């Protein structure tokens, strides 16, 4: 059963979200919920089946899924709640969340603090304005990775990869391992954009040619990719005429950059840095909206997951502290409620600590006159806190009652005090 | 295959063919509607500016002008009956600099001659007020208040579906090959899926309408020359132009527009480039550059940074001379029942303003058949209403809650960027015209058209299509035969 | 045996020094281009016994996914990579699979096991 109010809600259960949720719990947040759009926890790590994760934090060379498991176990041990296969539709600046899922339907949740950990999306073919036809077989590397490693299908048999980023190179090796042919890796820059280690172990090891200062001029094939036209570019990234080469293939993989995914952040009123594409954050990863924090690729693009975990922990800790402070702030106050025959009570809320100093006076007006003895009583649920007797009560004459200092202990326990004016 | 006999066969399920099917479905006729692709709306109707033109642009006296203005009037009722997203918000022809003002007067005169109501000349200052990001050198605009925007996919699917509900048989993946003639009378057609007999055949084959009529020996001089137009689509969240903005037109085209669409995206385009290949919808660098330059003239503040998609469409431009005496125009519509061949309704060269004209053309086909002696008896149970299927993102939270309660599949978002749910996708797969490919679902639900362009939704859509159609994910295609999305299971190596 | 020079990129640390390795067969006579002594060790290993960690997937029956990711417990000899992948293609596990579970023991006689990278519950 979902609660209405959580201390911390984390959106996304990739490395950033997992670390944030765990650290929030460890810092003392009581109710922590992770909302994840996939059917299981782990985010992008689940499809990164290669190793290289955890070298810094764990001094280990884990695969992505194994790295994720280190945190997933802790999530369950610590009692973090999870809502899976669920999408957050909207977040308000007052931290009201609308989420939907097949299994829980429509959920409206409030959070004392939120950690945004939605990660990044991949740059698309249209964003790099790649001319040509629009056949089946044009994929971003991440989507191809999902199909190959999780869904269990190769998206093609003969590949050209645009972009020498790590995802592209990792996929080059992965596809080669599964019996596909990677014809070429093309990189528009004059240098490798991924790690040298991947160049060696993914391309050189398998004789996959890398061409720097090259790009795809157009995609060919009406129904399915049939070839790409590669071309060399000059220092201004303009195609050099005469260097065109048609490379037959059935799939073009795009590894041309990641973009922090901040549509939800914008809805919450979070201001984004146009340079990073992610929120402006302080040392606790808090955005410009009080109580909304962000961690991981949603802030800026990382290359080592260990540092995403670190950022997630920072955000989780800060979010928990914020939530705890909010709880304490709310607990400091007791709400006064107009009960039987009472139209209103002033003050509407009371700082409990004020009773340490002095009695506190409550003022009210009755709805109906009672010509006869009455009790003016203050109750916490069924428990009487204090009361006084009066000989009558009339709407035209303000009624008051003192909350005495000695009621401090009773008031401290309460969330709401109800004031009634009833016949004696 | 056993030869089945019909009263009418309609070739082509673009918006024109589908409107003809829908209007004819009102009468007691056995109708077969064929389409060579895997889905309706994959030809010219699939890629255009989606404008419901006011009608000041076509040459006065031409069939284009008559169909445009008549069609324009029909759109409120049509959109209401078929639940087509449609907004009559008016369009602007914007003059930049004083030297372009006389061109507006010319269009005004044409509009008056064509009977276009509700035209108003407005000042540069007023244009700037209505469209703050317009080029500050704007000198004035012709505001045609009857212009509008619509969803051409929705229009085609809705019309074709309404026809099917009312008894029309629709066959996809069915390609016209030849006519079966008895003397000079058409008695049927040959297709890749067998022969079909019919008393009438309607040619609404768009880009291929010339080849179809030539098979009947008609109008050998008529030729469709595809004219490619390219477009950029912008991120709704970043760029929001309020209106439909035309530049002053050139000799060959209405020019490169900057316009909003019914989905809220701003699009720019099209350019106009004559090509040979009727299947060449490739996007070119030169075309995109031309579109960008043209758009910047109207709205200099646009930034390519927020472009999320590009596409190209092909106009089915014909060369038929206008039949009105005294009108010297060589690119008019063909909408006729010819004398030389019996049993043929010939539609040719339906390019812009094709979308707005489509219901008028359909009505004209009905009238032509009546004039030719067809006794069109109305079906008492003809239902002009095509019910709307719920679109999750257009509903209020309260409505969304109820939708999910009734069918939990509406609680699972498949396209994150456009908020398209599994429930909607399943509904389209099992609709009267089933969506069986990724692009078919995309056209109907707008899935995959957002920031991530299918990056997140594709694996989920493949899974849903495979499950609902009872096929392996390896058989799921993007747009029909030859466009499978996947190659083989990861663990099965050939050989 | 003739003396040859082979270029190797060292990947021990992110520097990625390009090493010029002069050798006769598998005996190294000279290494140039390294910026620390690990470069020489890397060159030696790469020339005489190059090894790689291999990660891949194997088929699973009855699980929430059709594949489970696996990894070699230690780097295996580079020449055996594709044979190992062929062996793994023959494997079909039954869900549930436990993280660290042995998928292939003593793969190709190397003494190195292939293990599951994650838990995979039954569907």
Tens of pLDDT, residue by residue over B291-308, are 999 999 999 989 888 888
Asked if residues A11 and A35 have their Cβ atoms less than 8 Å apart, the reply is yes
Which of C38, C59, C69, C74 is the best mutation test for A, with the most CBs of A within 10 A? C69
Q: What is the ipTM of this complex?
A: 0.92
Identify the pLDDT of residue A303: 87
Strands (DSSP E) along A312-366, which ranges? Answer: 333-338, 342-346, 349-351, 360-366
Residue B25 sits at φ, ψ, to 5 deg, of -65, -10
Burial class (CB within 10 angstroms; exposed 0-12, middle 13-18, buried 19+) of B495: exposed
Residue B2 has pLDDT above 60, yes or no: no
Rounded to the nearest integer, the mean pLDDT of chain B is 94
B52, β-bridge pairs: B148
Residue A391 has pLDDT above 50, yes or no: yes
Asked if residues B187 and B197 have their Cβ atoms less than 8 Å apart, the reply is yes
Residue A221 has pLDDT above 50, yes or no: yes
Residue B1 has pLDDT above 50, yes or no: no
* Catalytic annotation, residues of B: 53
C123 at interface of A, judged by CB pairs closer than 8 A: no
- Between the CA of residue A301 and those of A115, A259, A307, C59, C74, what are the distances in Å? 17, 7, 11, 33, 30
Instruction: Considering only the C-alpha atoms of chain B, give the largest distance between any 2 of them, rounded to a whole number of Å.
Output: 72
A40/chain C closest Cα distance in angstroms: 10
The pLDDT-based confidence of B252 (bands split at 50, 70, 90) is: low
- Mean pLDDT of the A282-286 span: 97
- Mean pLDDT of the B111-128 span: 96
Residue A227 has pLDDT above 70, yes or no: yes
A400: Cα within 13 Å, side-chain hemisphere: 11
B398 at interface of A, judged by CB pairs closer than 8 A: no
Counting residues of chain C whose pLDDT is more than 70, the rounded percentage is 99
Residue A236 has pLDDT above 80, yes or no: yes
Strand duo A251-254 + A138-140: pairing = parallel
Residue C46 sits at φ, ψ, to 5 deg, of -60, -35
Secondary structure of residue A79 in the 3-state scheme: coil
Strand duo B225-234 + B273-274: pairing = antiparallel
CB contact under 8 A, C9 and A195: no
Total Cβ atoms within 10 A of residue B371: 9
Asked if residues A146 and B296 have their Cβ atoms less than 8 Å apart, the reply is no
- Mean pLDDT of the C10-23 span: 84
Query: Model's pTM, two decimal places?
Result: 0.90
Residues near B42 by beta carbon (within 8 Å), at least 6 away in sequence: B35, B439, B479, B480
Identify the pLDDT of residue B494: 62
pLDDT digit string, tens, across residues A393-415? 999 999 999 999 999 999 988 99
Which of A43, A61, A65 is the best mutation test for C, with the most CBs of C within 10 A? A65
A161, β-bridge pairs: A185, A253
Identify the pLDDT of residue C32: 86
B473: tokens are: 């994910």
CB contact under 8 A, A179 and B493: yes
Identify the pLDDT of residue B4: 83
Rounded to the nearest integer, the mean pLDDT of chain A is 95
- When CB atoms are compared, the residue of B285, B404, B462 closest to A106 is B404
Element holding A11 (H helix, E strand): strand A5-11
SS (H, E, C) A141-160: HHHHHHHHHHHCEECCCEEE
Residue B464 has pLDDT above 80, yes or no: yes
Residue B495 has pLDDT above 60, yes or no: no
> What's the CA gap between B387 and A161, in Å, rounded?
45
Q: How far apart are the first and last CA of chain C?
A: 59
Residue B344 sits at φ, ψ, to 5 deg, of -130, 130
Give C9's contacts in chain A (Cβ within 8 Å): 196, 199-200, 204
- Mean pLDDT of the B391-399 span: 91
A248 at interface of B, judged by CB pairs closer than 8 A: no
Give C56's contacts in chain A (Cβ within 8 Å): 49, 177-178
């Amino acid at each position: 059963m979902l609660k209405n109010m959580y201390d911390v809600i984390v959106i996304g259960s990739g490395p950033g979200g997992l670390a944030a949720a765990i650290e929030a719990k460890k810092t003392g947040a009581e109710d922590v919920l992770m909302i994840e759009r996939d059917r299981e926890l782990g985010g992008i790590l689940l499809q990164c089946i290669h190793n290289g994760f955890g070298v810094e934090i764990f001094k280990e060379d884990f695969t992505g899924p194994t790295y994720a498991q280190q945190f997933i176990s802790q999530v369950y041990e610590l009692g973090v709640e999870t809502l899976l296969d669920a999408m957050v539709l909207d977040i308000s600046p007052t931290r009201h969340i609308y989420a939907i899922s097949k299994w829980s339907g429509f959920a409206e949740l409030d959070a004392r603090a939120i950690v945004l950990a939605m990660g990044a999306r991949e740059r698309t073919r249209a964003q790099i304005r790649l001319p040509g036809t629009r056949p089946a077989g044009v994929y971003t590397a991440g989507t191809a990775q999902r199909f190959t490693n999780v869904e269990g299908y190769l998206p093609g048999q003969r590949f050209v990869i645009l972009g020498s980023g790590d995802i592209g190179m990792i996929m080059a090796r992965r596809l080669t391992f599964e019996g596909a042919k990677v014809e070429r890796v093309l990189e528009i820059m004059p240098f490798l954009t991924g790690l040298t280690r991947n160049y060696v172990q993914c391309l050189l090891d398998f004789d996959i040619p890398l061409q720097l200062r090259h790009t795809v001029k157009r995609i060919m094939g009406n129904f399915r990719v049939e070839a790409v036209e590669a071309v060399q570019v000059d220092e201004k990234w303009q195609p050099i005429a005469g260097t065109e080469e048609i490379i037959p293939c059935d799939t073009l993989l795009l590894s041309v950059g990641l973009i922090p995914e901040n549509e939800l952040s914008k809805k919450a009123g979070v201001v984004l840095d146009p340079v990073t594409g992610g929120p402006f954050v302080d040392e606790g990863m808090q955005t410009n909206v009080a109580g909304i924090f962000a961690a991981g690729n949603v802030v800026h693009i990382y290359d080592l997951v260990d540092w995403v975990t670190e950022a997630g922990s920072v955000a989780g800790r800060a979010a928990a502290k914020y939530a705890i402070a909010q709880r304490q702030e709310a607990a400091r106050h007791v709400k006064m409620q107009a009960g039987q025959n009472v139209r209103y009570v002033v003050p509407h809320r009371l700082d409990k600590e004020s009773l340490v100093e002095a009695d506190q006076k409550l003022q009210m007006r009755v709805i109906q006159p009672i010509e006869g003895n009455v009790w003016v009583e203050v109750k916490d649920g069924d428990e009487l806190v204090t009361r006084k007797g009066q000989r009558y009560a009339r709407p035209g004459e303000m009624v008051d009652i003192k909350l005495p200092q000695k009621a401090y202990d009773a008031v401290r326990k309460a969330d709401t005090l109800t004031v009634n004016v009833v016949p004696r | 295959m056993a030869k089945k006999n019909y009263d009418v066969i309609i070739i082509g399920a673009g918006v024109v063919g589908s409107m003809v099917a829908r209007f004819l479905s009102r009468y007691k006729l056995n109708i077969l509607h064929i389409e060579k692709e895997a889905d309706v709306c994959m030809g010219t109707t699939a890629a255009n500016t989606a404008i419901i033109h006011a009608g000041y642009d076509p040459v006065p006296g031409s069939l284009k002008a008559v169909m445009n203005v008549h069609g324009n009037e029909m759109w409120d009722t049509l959109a209401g009956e078929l639940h087509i997203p449609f907004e009559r918000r008016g369009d602007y022809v914007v003059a930049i600099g004083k030297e372009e003002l006389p061109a507006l007067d010319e269009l005004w005169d044409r509009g008056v001659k064509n009977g276009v109501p509700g035209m108003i000349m407005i000042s540069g200052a007023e244009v700037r007020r209505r469209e703050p990001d317009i080029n500050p050198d704007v000198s004035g605009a012709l505001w045609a208040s009857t212009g509008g925007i619509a969803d051409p996919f929705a229009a085609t699917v809705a019309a074709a579906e309404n026809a099917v509900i009312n008894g029309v048989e629709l066959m996809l993946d069915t390609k016209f090959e030849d006519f079966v003639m008895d003397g000079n009378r058409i008695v049927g057609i040959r297709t890749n899926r067998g022969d079909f007999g019919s008393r009438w055949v309607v040619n609404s084959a768009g880009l291929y309408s010339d080849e179809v009529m030539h098979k009947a020996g008609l109008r050998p001089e008529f030729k469709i020359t595809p004219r490619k137009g390219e477009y950029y689509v912008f991120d709704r969240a970043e760029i929001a132009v309020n209106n439909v903005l035309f530049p002053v037109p050139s000799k060959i085209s209405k020019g490169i527009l900057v316009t909003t669409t019914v989905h809220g995206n701003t699009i720019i385009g099209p350019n106009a480039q004559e090509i040979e290949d009727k299947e060449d919808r490739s996007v070119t660098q030169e075309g995109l550059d031309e579109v960008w330059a043209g758009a910047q003239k109207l709205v200099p503040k646009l930034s390519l940074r927020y472009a999320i998609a590009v596409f190209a469409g092909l106009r089915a431009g014909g060369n038929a001379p206008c039949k009105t005496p005294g009108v010297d125009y060589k690119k008019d519509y063909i909408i006729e029942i010819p004398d030389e061949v019996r049993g043929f309704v010939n539609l040719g060269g339906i390019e812009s303003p094709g979308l707005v004209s489509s219901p008028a053309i359909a009505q004209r086909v009905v009238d032509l058949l009546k004039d030719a002696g067809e006794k069109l008896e109305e079906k008492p149970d003809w239902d002009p209403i095509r019910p709307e299927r719920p679109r999750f993102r257009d509903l209020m939270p309260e409505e969304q809650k109820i939708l999910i309660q009734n069918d939990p599949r509406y609680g699972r978002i498949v396209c994150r960027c456009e908020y398209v749910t599994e429930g909607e996708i399943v509904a389209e797969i099992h609709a009267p015209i089933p969506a069986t490919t990724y692009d078919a679902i995309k056209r109907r639900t707008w899935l995959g058209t957002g920031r991530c362009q299918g990056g997140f939704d594709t694996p989920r859509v493949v899974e849903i299509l495979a499950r609902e159609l009872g096929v392996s994910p390896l058989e799921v295609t993007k747009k029909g035969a030859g466009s499978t999305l996947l190659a083989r299971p990861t663990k099965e190596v050939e050989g | 045996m003739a003396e040859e020079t082979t270029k190797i990129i060292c990947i021990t640390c992110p520097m990625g020094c390009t090493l010029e390795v002069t050798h006769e067969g598998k005996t190294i006579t000279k290494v140039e281009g390294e910026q620390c002594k690990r470069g020489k060790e890397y060159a030696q290993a790469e020339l005489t016994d190059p090894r790689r960690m291999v990660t891949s997937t194997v088929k699973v029956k009855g699980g929430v996914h059709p594949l489970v990711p696996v990894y070699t417990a230690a780097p295996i000899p580079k020449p055996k990579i594709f044979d190992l992948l062929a062996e793994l293609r023959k494997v079909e596990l039954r869900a549930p699979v436990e993280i660290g579970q042995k998928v292939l023991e003593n793969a190709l006689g190397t003494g190195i096991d292939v293990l599951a990278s994650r838990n995979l519950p039954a569907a």
